[in-house]
Structure 1
Amino acid sequence: MILKKSTQTLLFKPKNFKDIYDNLHELHRLYASHTSISAGDMNDTDILLPSGKAISPTGAAHCLLEIQRTAVFIRGIYKAILKLQQSFPNQQLHILYAGCGPYATLVTPFTTLFSPEEVQFHLLDINERSLAASKKLYKALDIEMYVAEWICADATQYKFPTDQAIHLVISETMLNALKKEPQVAIMLNLIPQMQEKALFIPENITVSAQLLNKQQESARLTQWDLIPERIHLGDVYSIGRADCKVHEQVSIQIPKNILKEHSLQLLTEITTFADERLKIYDCSLNIPLVIGNAMDFAGRTINFDYHMGKVPGFKYHWLP
């Protein structure tokens, strides 16, 4: 079975990128055949919310094909489930997936590893077309018994059911540097509702300000042994299960003696769970966000504020 084989590859062959690539494309063909939603389609649109952009079903489908993104999230979720089985022995684990998309990409593989008595999914998406597609997929694969409920709702406003404990919450609704999409708003809403031993995926997201050498970053594409010099100036925002709070303004000092090749950029590192991390260039979520040529502002201070709202993201201004 394609689903079982792909799950085994994603979890237990982390360095075999060709097999992961091949298996994810097989999974995509399987999912697309049952949902009629393909990563190659461009015929639907995003939903614009007061808290940011909810990507379209085809946009969500495309996320499956980012090798490291999918693999690292799934490995993190697997480790989180094993941890929860220790924290809640002999209990059925209830998993809320906020922003599940048409494939419920990050939980569907676990139907090959755990029984419905061990795990139950609460699949949430604001897009009715995505939810309808996930229902079709689960019916076609004969795994409907894993779903406790399908929920059409805004995850930034959703309240947990009072009669059902949620043990794990998953939400991967972001772009690099936490721009445009509502990841932060979702975390600020859902994490405070969680019980003490419950877990959230991703476990932590950190955005840092760093100086990158533009020449070295370009050279690394052809010189595989080159380790570019990156100067860490400070964290701009860190949010996760253990430290979930609204952003407070951060000031970053630019060194006086820097090179003309230095560029000030925001780097995003994501810990899905435990030692499973996505770092610079691993996937689209880790593409550095360029602020500007650092030499133009040598010795000066820049203030960063994270703005919530329709277009979330970092705003900045230079002090005189």
Structure 2
Amino acid sequence: MFARPQDISGRPPAAEYADAEPDATTQSLLNQSLRQQLMQLNQTDITTATRLQTLRTSFASLTRHLITGTSVSYQEQIALHDQAYQQAMLSMQAANLPEEMLTSQFVHAHGLVLSPLNCSRTIKDVNRIGAFGQGLHQLISQQLTKQPAIHILYPACGPFAPLLLPLLAAYKDEAIFSSAQIQVTLVDIHSGATQTLKQLTEDLGLSDFIRSIATADACSYEPSAAADILLLEASHHGFSKEAHFAIARHLLPWLKEDGELIPGSIRVKAALVKGQQEFVEQWRDSSADQPPQLSQEALAGRIELGEIWRLDRAGIAAAQIIDLPDGQQVVECNTLTIPANGQDYDQRILVIYSEIDTFGDGRLDQYLSGITHPRPDMSVCIDFTPRSPMPDDLLLQRGDQIRFFYRLTGLTGFMPVKAEPMEARA
């Protein structure tokens, strides 16, 4: 009899496929922050000028190679991101956030709002910063050949606005683009994030690039000016938990007709995998000095079901929202078929994963970032009945069709249901 996927041990590098208890995660991050502060007590005091110069250099170093074409090894990139994180945390400390504000997170009407401390580690995601930085630089360069100045709107940006501030730091350091050419609006619902942002942008010497920093719900915020670029990344692995779709849908009307949404495309897909092979075996010999990459053996062992949803500018605008009787809202996505001739379904797990194209050459494939790790759906049981059934178990058989809905309220995510045969619908 098939064992529940929860019994499978191990995880891919930096995996987020298994949800941790929120309190434990927050406590771990808080412990890290406290440990960092205690270590600093034993270090020689540095002047404010030295701290600011180190911060500015560290941020510019994250994206300089994307702009100049300089070769930087993956190990060197990891070290640079660690340094930028450490320096940004000093700015967060300088912002003097009370502990309650630093660690507070909550479920908003359209998704999870992470604490500033929880968001802070995004800047250490080498591949995410690289893919967005590469695409964003190509887009900014393209737009500034057509017009003298652009406006970038960056909602749900968190305390460090990590997809943009390193690029602006490099522009200033290399004298490539100026604040006369680029103006930015930063928006976040968490006052701890915006308070940190104000400190960080001043510390980085980037205040002249900032049009405004707004503490506001991005799902209802109305910008004072149309945007040439809408930069947004607000999701967990499996395109879950956060309010990416709701924010994008609300703010698209403020994007100019010839403007661009970044990422330009998010493709959410489903596959059936062997848990031991997918999450344990293929990572046994992996190295932290190299980007994580799905092995050919694991890829060959999968059963790919197809694309659940494609989120691009046209698709987001055209999505039809369904209002349920209890007040919840969903979007109907694609219906996928479980192949009738597949093997050992009772040993497989349904996983949902994202592939992200930012713009141009910027791309994030599965496992390259925390937001593209495959997310198992433990409720889907194909060709077996679980020993310990749960209320939301979905019992399916080979040949069945799975109809996917995306839940927009509370913790966002995909809800698979068994699709009725076409003749039954008729």
Q: TM-score, normalised by structure 1?
A: 0.90
**For residue 92 of structure 2, what is the aligned residue in structure 1?**
35
- 1:279 alignment partner AA: D
SS of match in other structure, 1:237: strand
Query: Is residue 2:302 matched to residue 1:210?
Result: no
Q: Given the superposition, is the C-alpha separation of residues 226 and 249 from structure 1 closer, same or farther in structure 2, using an over 3 Å criterion?
A: closer
Post-superposition CA distance 1:271-316 (Å, at most 9, x none): 1112321111111111112234544421212211111111211111
Q: Given the superposition, is the C-alpha separation of residues 15 and 269 from structure 1 closer, same or farther in structure 2, using an over 3 Å criterion?
A: farther
Question: Of 233, 239, 252, which residue of structure 2 is paired with 1:191?
Answer: 252
Question: Of 166, 187, 206, which residue of structure 1 is paired with 2:227?
Answer: 166
**For residue 139 of structure 1, what is the aligned residue in structure 2?**
202
Question: Of 181, 200, 203, which residue of structure 1 is paired with 2:261?
Answer: 200
- 1:81 alignment partner AA: I
Q: CA deviation at 1:198?
A: 0.6
Question: Of 282, 304, 309, which residue of structure 2 is paired with 1:237?
Answer: 309
Distance 2:402 2:194 in 1: 43
Question: For the Cα contact (< 8 Å) 1:125–1:151, is it kept in 2?
Answer: yes
**For residue 349 of structure 2, what is the aligned residue in structure 1?**
263
- 1:176 alignment partner AA: H
Question: For the Cα contact (< 8 Å) 1:123–1:150, is it kept in 2?
Answer: yes
**For residue 7 of structure 1, what is the aligned residue in structure 2?**
63
Question: For the Cα contact (< 8 Å) 1:175–1:284, is it kept in 2?
Answer: yes
Question: Of 283, 299, 307, which residue of structure 2 is paired with 1:221?
Answer: 283
Alignment of 1:1-320 (within 5 A): 1-9=57-65, 12=69, 16-36=73-93, 44-86=103-145, 88-89=146-147, 91-111=148-168, 112-113=170-171, 114-161=177-224, 164-217=225-278, 218-222=280-284, 226-228=296-298, 229=300, 230-244=302-316, 245-246=318-319, 247-260=331-344, 261-291=347-377, 292-296=380-384, 297-319=397-419
Distance 1:128 1:56 in 2: 10
Q: CA deviation at 1:47?
A: 3.2
- 1:49 alignment partner AA: H
Greater fraction of residues in helix: 2
Supply the RMSD in Å over aligned alpha carbons.
2.3
Post-superposition CA distance 1:196-242 (Å, at most 9, x none): 11111111111112222445424322467644223332211111124
SS of match in other structure, 1:123: strand
Distance 1:7 1:15 in 2: 10
- 1:131 alignment partner AA: T
Question: For the Cα contact (< 8 Å) 1:14–1:71, is it kept in 2?
Answer: no
Question: For the Cα contact (< 8 Å) 1:250–1:304, is it kept in 2?
Answer: yes
**For residue 289 of structure 2, what is the aligned residue in structure 1?**
none
SS of match in other structure, 1:80: helix
Question: For the Cα contact (< 8 Å) 2:63–2:130, is it kept in 1?
Answer: no
Question: For the Cα contact (< 8 Å) 2:226–2:254, is it kept in 1?
Answer: no
* Structure 2: runs of 5+ lacking an equivalent: 1-56, 172-176, 287-294, 320-330, 385-396, 421-426
- 1:302 alignment partner AA: I
Q: Given the superposition, is the C-alpha separation of residues 293 and 13 from structure 1 closer, same or farther in structure 2, using an over 3 Å criterion?
A: farther
Distance 1:27 1:100 in 2: 17
* Structure 1: runs of 5+ lacking an equivalent: none
- 1:31 alignment partner AA: A
SS of match in other structure, 1:196: strand
SS of match in other structure, 2:143: helix
Post-superposition CA distance 1:58-90 (Å, at most 9, x none): 12111111121121111121112122223x32x
Question: For the Cα contact (< 8 Å) 1:220–1:226, is it kept in 2?
Answer: no
- 1:298 alignment partner AA: R
> Aligned pairs, how many?
314
Q: CA deviation at 1:154?
A: 0.9
Question: For the Cα contact (< 8 Å) 1:262–1:295, is it kept in 2?
Answer: no
- 2:133 alignment partner AA: I
Post-superposition CA distance 1:117-153 (Å, at most 9, x none): 1111111111111111111112222221111111111
**For residue 8 of structure 2, what is the aligned residue in structure 1?**
none
Q: Given the superposition, is the C-alpha separation of residues 176 and 275 from structure 1 closer, same or farther in structure 2, using an over 3 Å criterion?
A: same
Larger Rg: 2
- 1:285 alignment partner AA: I
Distance 2:71 2:382 in 1: 37
Q: CA deviation at 1:251?
A: 1.8
* Percentage of matched positions with identical amino acids: 24
